[in-house]
Amino acid sequence: MNQESPPNLKPTLEDIQNQFETWRRTRQRRAPIPARLWEAAVNLSEDYSILQISKVLRLNYTDLKHRVLAQTDEEIVNAKHNLPFIELDFEQTKSPNHCVIEMEKSNGAKLKMYFTGERSLDLLELGKSFWSNGS
């Protein structure tokens, strides 16, 4: 029994080139390139470079590049919109917060504080109090 490989559903550069040539032979003068042909050219960018595509299909490199980048940007935006929302619960963190504060005045007075976990002290006010008391 002869097993044939499944047909390639993705058009090749040559397939699209034939479509462009057919369109060029049958178009009206100065008619814009149809959207379906632009889309086919842009889709080729997954397998071919923009330079290869523009040369073979006789397209403006810059126009093709802008269309490829626009499609890529649109795909990225669509992918971001399809991401699931993940809620993080920071209330139940396993590791406590650690904080060490050291202060020293020019007269030799020192203050050293260690904090672990939640701190309900106003550290700014504590520092101001240390600096304002004494000389």
- pLDDT by position in tens, the chain (length 135): 455 545 557 899 999 999 999 999 999 988 999 999 999 999 999 899 999 999 999 999 999 999 998 887 777 666 666 666 666 665 655 555 777 778 887 777 888 877 776 656 677 777 777 777 655
* Other CB atoms within 10 Å distance of the CB of residue 53: 24
DSSP-assigned beta bridge partners for residue 25 = none
Angle (CA) 92-94-100 rounded to 5° is: 110
43 backbone φψ class: left, alpha, beta (φ>0; ψ -120 to 50): alpha
The torsion defined by the Cα of 123, 127, 129 and 135, in degrees rounded to 10, comes to 170
**The model's pTM:** 0.51
